[in-house]
Amino acid sequence: MTKEIKKLNLGAGEFKKDGYVNVDWQDLTKPDVKHDLNVLPYPFENNTFDLIEAFHVLEHLDKPFSIMSELHRILKPGAILIIKVPHFSRGFTHAEHSHGFDVTFPLYFNRNFTKSGYFGTDFKLKKLKLRWSAFIHLMPSMGYGKISLTLVKIVDFIFSFLANLSPNFCSRMWCFWVGGFEEIEFEFIAQK
């Protein structure tokens, strides 16, 4: 008998995923669970999920650290949380973005980092990745042709590869030389 893996797609929008509980606040997207993600607690029991994905959601919410605590509550011990958010260097390109993020975000979930910055929930950072151009799929609707898209893909590959050799250096210095990075991805393990 195999154990069922419980997965949550937080802020699913138009990108609902099979095998996940898809949560969003809009009826228009027909989520499995309709819930305003700024309202805590979420309608799930403690230690429910093995995997939570929140792609381009946290930057829209009022209190990201409170949301991280709530996600910690509903994750099982050792479960995975994958978050994709705008890097601060391009974080405010959408009118409803309230927050930008950088490589220091994971530090606030480490009780050994600082007492004044620790937010009471422990996550271990498994992976951090910068992406120079995260929305290539939207570019054709913005008038980009095949040649332009190919060039953007090449530049994205090169810049993202180089940036991920040292994300800390990139976040502090290099990102301003290449026009900023659209996305930073964090993969956390819930420590309980």
Domain that residue 166 falls in: 7-191
The verdict on residue 11 lying in a domain is: yes
- Other CB atoms within a 10 A radius of the CB of residue 59 amount to 20
Q: Determine the pLDDT at residue 3.
A: 76
Q: Determine the pLDDT at residue 30.
A: 92
Give the residue ranges of the chain where pLDDT is below 50: none
The verdict on residue 2 lying in a domain is: no
The verdict on residue 85 lying in a domain is: yes
* 14-55 tens-digit pLDDT: 889 999 999 999 888 899 999 999 999 999 999 999 999 999
Q: Determine the pLDDT at residue 44.
A: 97
The verdict on residue 1 lying in a domain is: no
Query: CATH code at 51?
Result: 3.40.50.150
* Helical spans, DSSP H, in 75-124: none
The verdict on residue 102 lying in a domain is: yes
Q: Determine the pLDDT at residue 87.
A: 80
Scanning the structure block, which residue is given the tokens 């990201």?
64
Q: Determine the pLDDT at residue 42.
A: 97
Q: In which order are the strands placed within the sheet that holds 122-131? A: 33-34, 21-24, 7-10, 49-55, 75-85, 183-191, 122-131
**Under a CB-based contact definition with an 8 Å cutoff, are residues 86 and 100 in contact?**
yes
Q: Determine the pLDDT at residue 72.
A: 98
- The count of structural domains within the chain is 1
